Amino acid sequence: MQVQWYPGHMAKTKKMLREHISLVDLVIELLDARIPHSSRNPDLDAIAGDKSRVILLNKADLAAPVITKAWLSYFEENGHAAIAFDSRGKAGLSKLEELVNRLTEEKRQRQKARGRTITLKAMVVGIPNVGKSTFINQLAGRAGAVTGDKPGVTRGRQWIKAKAGFDLLDTPGVLWSKFEDAAVGVKLAATGAVSDDILDKVTLCEELLKILSEINPKSYLERYKLPDLNMDVGEPVAGGNAASRALLEKIGIARGFKLKGGAVDTERAAITVLDEFRGGKLGRVSLERPF
């Protein structure tokens, strides 16, 4: 499955990020904790240059805690300040504040020495639907930015005061024009960064089931109360993967999704599995490890 999604506004957003980078003291890069590798925009290094950066593994409530911990060590070993976060709660706030203070220490000291009030500006960036606006609202303690359960909600930049002397720039989600491999596109689509309107949901769901069968078959076996099928993922066949298709049909049967005439409604099964995976109903599942 080849996913390529680069709506016109994304090139404009990239230009806007480049234009605004000199105004900020800090970049807060939100990654999806379930796919920290696939959700990293390779264009960001060139845009952010040597600006201080915090990596925030957002939606950590949906990812496997042990694997998130391994990712945090991985980023720290590679010289990046990183924290895990659930933007719908307040758990990581004090740790984040500590980190921001550490990274902006020099500027704050300089302003203090000159008797100025401290002002810090941070740009919040990340792929569509990763939770940028939700994160900003959490920090600000009010719903200043529009959020939504689909990619492409934020369309323009917006400054939001998180607290006195700390302003955050909300930005539209950006992807990059070419994914390095097809698996990256599949993971971005499965976690909700790519609009479902451009995708064949059955194929996407089969691809997701193929990944889950390799890393965590318990996630769907328990959710859909299936016996261990001991599935062999096998070679891809035309129209998808035979084992994943068989699995999707079993899920459809388990849920009683039937078409007129009695065939299994695989489309409805696919929509259900994708929704439930995205909503965390298959448990806390990370699709990528740092090793």
Ligand X SMILES: Nc1nc2c(ncn2[C@@H]2O[C@H](COP(=O)(O)OP(=O)(O)OP(=O)(O)O)[C@@H](O)[C@H]2O)c(=O)[nH]1
The DSSP secondary structure of 25-74, one letter per residue, reads SEEEEEEETT-TTTT--TTHHHHHTT-EEEEEEE-GGGS-HHHHHHHHHH
**Measured from the CB atom, is 61 or 267 closer to ligand X?**
61
Helix (H) / strand (E) containing 205 = helix 201-215
Both tokens of residue 71? 């990712």
Q: Contact at 8 Å (CB) between 4 and 25?
A: no
Q: Is 152 helix (H, G, I), strand (E, B) or coil?
A: coil
Contacting positions for ligand X (CB under 6 A)? 58-59, 61-62, 86-88, 126, 128-134, 147-149, 151-154, 172-173
Applying CB under 5 A, the site for Mg ion has a residue count of: 4
Q: How far apart are CA 237 and CA 190, in angstroms?
A: 21
- Residue 222 C-beta: closest distance to ligand X, Å: 20
Given 52, 133, 219, 266, the residue binding Mg ion (CB under 5 A): 133
Both tokens of residue 146? 């529009």
**Measured from the CB atom, is 125 or 186 closer to Mg ion?**
125
- Residue 220 C-beta: closest distance to ligand X, Å: 19
**Measured from the CB atom, is 132 or 187 closer to Mg ion?**
132
- Residue 153 C-beta: closest distance to Mg ion, Å: 5
**Measured from the CB atom, is 59 or 250 closer to ligand X?**
59
Contact flag: residue 154 with Mg ion (CB under 5 A): yes
- Residue 109 C-beta: closest distance to ligand X, Å: 32
- Residue 148 C-beta: closest distance to ligand X, Å: 5
Q: How far apart are CA 131 and CA 285, in angstroms?
A: 18
Q: Is 1 helix (H, G, I), strand (E, B) or coil?
A: coil
Residue numbers at the binding site for Mg ion (CB under 5 A): 132-133, 153-154
